[in-house]
Amino acid sequence: MNVSSRETTHTVSHFILLRFPSHPQMQLLYFGLFSVAYTLTLMGNTAIVCAVRWDRRLHTPMYILLGNFSLLEICYVTTTVPNMSANFLSTSKSISFVSCFAQFYFFFSFGCDEGFYLCIMAFDRYLAICRPLHYPRIMTKQLCTGLIVFGWSCGFILFLTPVVLISQLPYCGPNVINHFMCDPVPLMMLSCSEDTTTQFIYSTFNTIFMTGTFLFILCSYALVILAVLRMPSAASKCKAFSTCASHLAVVILFFGSVMVMYVSPGSEHPVEMQKLVTLFYSVVTPLCNPLIYSLWNKEMKAVLKKVFGSEISVHKTLIRSHSESSTNTTYLNKI
């Protein structure tokens, strides 16, 4: 049995992604919508990264972590949306076996990293609000750097085991994935043999990761809220809540959709519901995050206006100077 399973493991060389079956006109509409969403996501998150990089006022742990989170969002959305948009114009809708599992690995590794970054950001807010006197001593440059490295690398290390286990399942028969990306649940359903051990390991991993990180964030913010309520000044309360509100909104968007999909029994969800929920946390959430952070955070909003307002002014000045130079040259030539 084991020999035959190993022999059939690599008989499937590619998969067919059904994505959103529709008329060709709708495929073009989907291509346009996802291309615009991807472009806006890149622009919004890049703006935050540039603002944190260029303005020295934002060189604090909170904003450095936010800048890294925005960069992570760019990587996260790039693993799926460009390929998905391109396949709307493709007739084959195919993806190779290796590319499918590479997409699976990077997408969920970046997703895990986002979960860890949200925990790190919650821990930073806890220290800043609940332990303000000890904050500079605890959140040193070395600790901040270590947390950044941990946030980027941990997901890639932890998610290696589930990806390897699922990729080693025997795939000998239908290769059509009723999804717009290489999601683990449809992939395991295509396997020729039902490997309950792999399914159990994958489900346990998701449950522990999602509930563990979510409970950590909830406990952190429960302590933060208690500390804020004890503040005597209304202005201090308002400022503390404003710095935490954007982060809490992102936490709710991210964990709300992901936990519905992967902590509850995923195989029992209707296929179209799986697609919509995955679409929400893979495309909509990264698009909304820059808006949330820029609209709810007054300091970030002011820096974005200053940085990009000055860039636009410089650009206009250069254009005006070039235009005046061209006019003067033309006038001298006439003379």
Report the C-alpha gap between 323 and 308 in whole angstroms. 22
Give buried/exposed letters for 100-138 (b at 16+ CB in 10 A, else e).
bbbbbbbbbbbbbbbbbbbbbbbbbbbbbbbeeeeeeee
Q: What is the pLDDT of residue 77?
A: 93
Over residues 259-277, mean pLDDT: 64
Is 167 inside any structural domain?
yes
Indicate the SS3 state at residue 90.
coil
How far apart are the two ends of the chain, measured CA to CA in Å? 93
Is 166 inside any structural domain?
yes
- Structural domain count of the chain: 1
Is 331 inside any structural domain?
no
| pLDDT tens digits, one per residue of 23-36 | 777 888 888 989 99
Q: Does residue 68 carry a pLDDT above 80?
A: yes
- Which helix (DSSP H) or strand (DSSP E) does residue 177 occupy? strand 176-177
Report the C-alpha gap between 25 and 14 in whole angstroms. 26
| pLDDT tens digits, one per residue of 69-126 | 999 999 999 999 998 888 888 777 788 899 999 999 999 999 999 999 999 999 999 9
Selected residue with higher pLDDT from 96 and 3 = 96
Cα distances from 309 to residues 4, 47, 270, 303, 316, in angstroms, run: 65, 12, 47, 9, 11
CATH number for the domain including 54? 1.20.1070.10
What is the residue range of 262's domain? Answer: 2-296
- Which helix (DSSP H) or strand (DSSP E) does residue 57 occupy? none
For residue 216 the two structure tokens come to 């950590």
Residues 6+ apart with CB under 8 A from 321: none
How many other CB atoms are there within 10 angstroms of residue 78's CB atom?
17
- Distance from CA of residue 231 to its chain's centroid? 34
β pairing state of 14-17 and 176-177: parallel
- For residue 212, which phi and psi values (nearest 5 degrees)? -65, -50
| pLDDT tens digits, one per residue of 10-23 | 578 888 888 776 67
DSSP letter string over 178-207?
A: SSSS--HHHHHHHSSS--HHHHHHHHHHHH
Report the C-alpha gap between 159 and 309 in whole angstroms. 41
| pLDDT tens digits, one per residue of 284-296 | 888 888 888 766 6
Query: Are the CB atoms for 262 and 206 separated by under 8 Å?
Result: yes
Q: What is the pLDDT of residue 10?
A: 52
> Whole-prediction pTM value?
0.82
Over residues 131-153, mean pLDDT: 93
Kindly give the residue spans of alpha helices, DSSP state H, lying in the chain: 2-8, 24-54, 61-78, 81-88, 97-130, 135-138, 141-158, 160-167, 184-190, 196-229, 234-262, 271-279, 285-296, 298-334
Work out the percent of the chain whose per-residue pLDDT is above 90. Answer: 27
Please, what is the average pLDDT of the chain?
81
How many other CB atoms are there within 10 angstroms of residue 282's CB atom?
22
Q: What is the pLDDT of residue 183?
A: 86
Report the C-alpha gap between 223 and 217 in whole angstroms. 10
Q: What is the pLDDT of residue 332?
A: 44
- Which helix (DSSP H) or strand (DSSP E) does residue 94 occupy? strand 94-96
Is 253 inside any structural domain?
yes
Query: Are the CB atoms for 72 and 113 separated by under 8 Å?
Result: yes
Q: What is the pLDDT of residue 150?
A: 94
Is 333 inside any structural domain?
no
Is 309 inside any structural domain?
no
Q: What is the pLDDT of residue 234?
A: 77
Is 316 inside any structural domain?
no
Is 104 inside any structural domain?
yes
Selected residue with higher pLDDT from 322 and 12 = 12
| pLDDT tens digits, one per residue of 74-87 | 999 999 999 888 88
Facing residues of 16 across strands?
A: 94, 176
Q: Does residue 228 carry a pLDDT above 50?
A: yes
Per-residue confidence at 197, pLDDT binned at 50, 70, 90? confident
